[in-house]
């Protein structure tokens, strides 16, 4: 056992030196955990932001002006007056997402208690903006109308009131969620690519023959590649989480980083083993890339990082809950968002360890068969 550990250590050090000499790979890793996280977090937003609004004001009253003034940045752009004839063209060309139409005698009807309506036309091709923006307008207009009635001595209120208490991300900033999930997804894809490239690089450069004449076993070579590449991803991902997500983006990390790092170690062990297993079945790097893309895409789409599991069909949910990527996404959200402890995420850790064991067995067996063919 001591000899096995020494060989794994020496081969792992060789693997680390090999990665450090690969400038292209290093640039990819650094970009993925720095610039890519910032770009996706700042550029992809789930909340309404800077949405274009056009206004048809047929009332020209104090109340209609109050409604227009209540539509403010950063959620909406300042409303632009538009004629009714230009509405269709503006929305068809994508220049306007929302068109607000205030009918004649709107203020008079409100003061008389006639319950007039404000029409909101929505370009639903901008799905996120459309759905949330319509809800924002309802809340804004209801608040402004009630304030206007109170100022005019009319006691009015909604039949109910809603009090929301947000435990995490009180301002609903999508960057707080997107940044963490971007790191999680980058960990998955780069773990597969790194270890797969390491195996195929050995074959393409002919250095696999050097390993065959050395007094080392297939399991030692396999574990060295898995551990070395996993260590690189672990260090870079944790650095990105602290300096980029927490430092640059200001995202609070509610839970234990030590617990998250330990869970990531287990997950990396599982995913890098999967990458090695896939690399042993692909004769070249292009074919490995074609093999890895659908595997990663399916794992990502079913992980819950992009779409909540509850929104998926029930049979798909049952499949998704068995995948290690889904378990790690759930664990990451529980620890980093909600401050969960070890007892809460223990089922996820057990499932990840189970998949890791299975992938390692498959990877070592396939790697041993590949070396036998090479020999």
pLDDT at 211: 64
Contact 271, 352 (CB under 8 A): no
pLDDT in tens, the chain (375 residues): 788 888 888 888 888 888 888 888 889 899 999 999 999 888 777 778 889 999 999 999 999 999 999 999 888 999 999 999 999 899 888 889 999 999 999 999 988 888 888 999 998 887 777 878 888 898 899 888 888 888 888 776 655 555 666 677 777 778 888 899 999 999 999 999 888 888 887 777 666 666 666 777 778 878 888 889 899 999 999 999 999 999 999 899 988 999 999 999 999 999 999 998 888 888 788 888 888 889 888 888 899 888 888 888 999 999 999 999 999 999 999 999 888 999 999 999 999 999 999 998 888 888 778 777 665
Q: In what order do the strands lie in the sheet with 53-57?
A: 80-81, 53-57, 98-102, 119-122
Helices (H), the chain: 2-21, 23-33, 35-43, 62-69, 87-92, 106-111, 127-151, 174-205, 208-212, 218-239, 257-280, 285-301, 314-320, 324-332, 342-374
Please compute Rg for the chain using Cα positions. 28
* CATH class of segment(s) 53-151: alpha beta
pLDDT at 101: 94
3-state secondary structure of 56: strand
Q: How far is CA 109 from CA 70, 143, 282, in A?
A: 20, 17, 73
- For the chain, give the number of residues: 375
In angstroms, the CA 373 to CA 367 distance is 10
- Provide the sign of the torsion angle of the four alpha carbons 352, 358, 362, 363, taken in this order: positive
pLDDT at 375: 57
**Which DSSP string do the residues of 90-113 spell out, in sequence order?**
HHHTTS-SEEEEEPTTHHHHHHTT
pTM score of the predicted model: 0.80
Number of Cβ within 10 Å of residue 66's Cβ equals: 16
Instruction: Say what angle helices 218-239 and 257-280 make with each other, to 10 degrees.
Output: 140
pLDDT at 41: 85
In angstroms, the CA 184 to CA 240 distance is 11
Instruction: Compute the C-alpha angle 244/248/250, nearest 5°.
Output: 105
In angstroms, the CA 163 to CA 88 distance is 38
pLDDT at 276: 87
pLDDT at 18: 82
In angstroms, the CA 135 to CA 323 distance is 35
Instruction: Write out the two tokens for 208.
Output: 């696999």
Number of Cβ within 10 Å of residue 87's Cβ equals: 16
pLDDT at 212: 62
CATH 3.40.1710.10 in the chain, residue ranges: 53-151
């Amino acid at each position: 056992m001591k000899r096995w550990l020494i060989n794994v250590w020496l081969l792992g050090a060789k693997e680390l030196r090999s990665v450090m000499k690969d400038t292209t790979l290093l640039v990819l890793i650094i970009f993925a955990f720095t610039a890519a996280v910032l770009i996706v977090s700042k550029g992809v937003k789930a909340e309404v932001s800077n949405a274009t609004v056009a206004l048809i004001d047929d009332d020209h009253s104090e109340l209609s002006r109050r409604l227009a003034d209540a539509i403010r940045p950063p959620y909406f752009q300042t409303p632009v007056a538009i004629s009714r004839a230009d509405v269709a063209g503006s929305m068809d060309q994508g220049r306007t997402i929302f068109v607000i139409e205030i009918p004649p005698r709107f203020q008079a009807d409100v003061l008389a208690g006639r319950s007039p309506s404000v029409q909101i036309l929505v370009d639903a091709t901008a799905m996120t903006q459309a759905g949330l923006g319509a809800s924002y307008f309802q809340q804004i207009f209801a608040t402004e109308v009630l304030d206007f009635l109170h100022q005019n001595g009319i006691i009015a209120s909604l039949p109910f009131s809603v009090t929301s208490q947000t435990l995490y991300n009180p301002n609903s900033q999508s960057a707080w969620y997107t940044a963490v999930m971007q790191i999680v997804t980058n960990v998955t894809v780069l773990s597969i690519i790194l270890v797969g490239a390491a195996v195929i690089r050995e074959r393409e450069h002919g250095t696999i023959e050097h390993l065959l004449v050395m007094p080392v076993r297939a399991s030692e070579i396999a574990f060295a590649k898995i551990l070395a590449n996993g260590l690189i991803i672990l260090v870079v991902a944790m650095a990105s989480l602290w300096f980029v997500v927490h430092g640059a983006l200001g995202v609070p990390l509610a839970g234990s980083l030590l617990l998250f790092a330990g869970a990531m170690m287990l997950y990396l062990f599982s995913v890098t083993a999967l990458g090695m297993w896939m690399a042993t079945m692909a004769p070249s790097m292009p074919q490995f890339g074609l093999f890895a893309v659908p595997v990663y895409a399916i794992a990502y789409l079913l992980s819950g990082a992009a779409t909540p599991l509850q929104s998926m069909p029930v049979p798909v949910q049952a499949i998704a809950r068995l995948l290690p990527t889904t378990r790690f996404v759930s664990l990451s959200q529980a620890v980093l968002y909600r401050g969960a402890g070890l007892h809460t995420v223990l089922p996820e850790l057990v499932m990840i360890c189970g998949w890791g064991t299975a992938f390692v067995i498959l990877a070592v067996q396939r790697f041993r068969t590949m070396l036998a063919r090479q020999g």
